Amino acid sequence: MLTLIKNCYIVSPDLELENSAILIEAGRIKTVFPDTNAAPAVDNVIDAEAQIVAPGFIDVHCHGKAGYDFTDAKQEAIDTIGKAKLAEGVTTLLPTTLTLPEEQLAAALETAANYIKNDVKGCRLPGVHLEGPFINANCAGAQNPAYVRVPDIEEVKRLNAIFPVSKVSFAPEVEGGIEFSRELREIGVTPSCVHSAAKYCEFQSAHDHGMRDLSHFCNQMTPLHHRDIGLVGAGLMHNDVFIEFICDTMHICPDMISLVFNLKDIERIQLITDAMRAAGMPDGDYEIGGLPVIVKDGAARLTSNGALAGSTLQLYEALKNVYEITGLPLSELIKTTSWNQAQSLGLEKFGKIEAGFAADIVILDDEFCPVTTLVDGEVRFKG
> Which residues are catalytic, by number?
274
Distances (CA, A) of 24 to 115, 218, 313: 25, 40, 31
Q: What is the 3-state secondary structure (H, E, C) of the chain?
A: CEEEEEEEEEEECCEEEEEEEEEEECCEEEEEECCHHHCCCCCEEEECCCCEEEECEEEEEECEECCEEHHHCCHHHHHHHHHHHHHHCEEEEEEECCCCCHHHHHHHHHHHHHHHHCCCCCCECCCEEEECCCCCHHHCCCCCHHHCCCCCHHHHHHHHHHCCEEEEEECCCCCCHHHHHHHHHHCCCEEEECCCCCCHHHHHHHHHCCCCEECCCCCCCCCCCCCCCHHHHHHHHCCCCEEEECCCCCCCCHHHHHHHHHHCCHHHEEECCCECCCCCCCCEEEEECCEEEEEECCEEEECCCCCECCECCCHHHHHHHHHHHHCCCHHHHHHHCCHHHHHHHCCCCCCCCCCCCECCEEEECCCCCEEEEEECCEEEEEC
Nearest to 124 by CA among 350, 382, 319: 350
